[in-house]
C-alpha cells in the first residue's frame, strides 16, 4: 500500500493483503448497518369509497408512516368511473386530510392508465 505516493521516491508499506481485505469488509458491513431502508406500502381505494372505510385505511396508512415507510395511495377506476376523475381526486384530498398529522404529499396525484396515484412520506423525513 502506498503511504506517500507523491514523495520522491514514493513511500510504500508491506502489509498482509488478507487482513486488509478483512478490514475493508468489516467497514462496509458497519456502514450497511447504519443505512435506513425505506419501503413503499400501497393502499388502494375506489372513487366511491365511503367515509368510514377511508378512516380505516387512513389509520393503516398512519401506522405505515409512523414506521417511516412511504405510502402509495391508488384510486382504481373501473368502467365508466373513468369519466369522473374529480371524485377520485376528492377521495385523495380527503385521505390527505386524514393522514396530514403524520405525513405529507411526496408526489401529487397523477393519472397512470386507469389509476390515479399519489405518494405520501413521513413528516420527519
The residues facing 73 across adjacent strands are 43, 118
DSSP-assigned letter for residue 24: H
**Domain tally for the chain?**
2
Residue 11: which pLDDT band, with cuts at 50, 70 and 90? confident
The reply to whether 20 and 71 lie within a common domain is no
Model confidence pLDDT, tens digit, residues 52-105: 999 999 999 999 999 889 999 999 999 898 888 999 999 999 999 999 999 999
Report the pLDDT value the prediction gives residue 34, as an integer from 0 to 100: 79
For the chain, give me the number of helices (H) and strands (E)? 3, 6
Are residues 11 and 60 located together in one domain of the fold? Answer: no
Show the domain range for 66: 40-122
26 with 47, same domain: the answer is no
pLDDT band at 125 (very low <50, low <70, confident <90, very high): low
Are 28 and 50 part of one and the same domain?
no
Same domain, residue pair 70 and 10: no
- Give the domain CATH number at 75: 3.30.110.10
Distance CA 62, CA 98 (A): 9
Residues 19 and 55 in one domain: no
Amino acid at each position: 500500500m502506498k503511504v506517500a505516493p507523491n514523495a520522491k521516491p514514493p513511500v510504500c508499506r508491506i502489509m498482509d493483503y488478507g487482513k486488509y481485505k478483512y478490514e475493508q469488509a468489516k467497514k462496509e458491513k458497519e456502514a450497511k448497518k447504519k443505512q435506513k431502508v425505506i419501503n413503499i406500502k400501497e393502499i388502494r381505494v375506489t372513487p366511491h369509497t365511503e367515509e368510514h372505510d377511508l378512516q380505516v385505511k387512513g389509520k393503516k396508512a398512519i401506522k405505515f408512516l409512523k414506521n417511516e415507510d412511504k405510502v402509495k395511495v391508488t384510486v382504481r377506476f373501473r368502467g365508466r368511473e373513468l369519466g369522473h376523475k374529480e371524485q377520485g381526486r376528492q377521495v385523495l384530498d380527503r385521505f390527505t386530510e386524514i393522514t396530514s398529522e403524520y405525513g405529507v404529499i411526496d408526489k401529487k396525484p397523477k393519472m397512470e392508465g386507469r389509476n390515479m396515484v399519489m405518494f405520501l412520506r413521513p413528516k420527519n423525513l
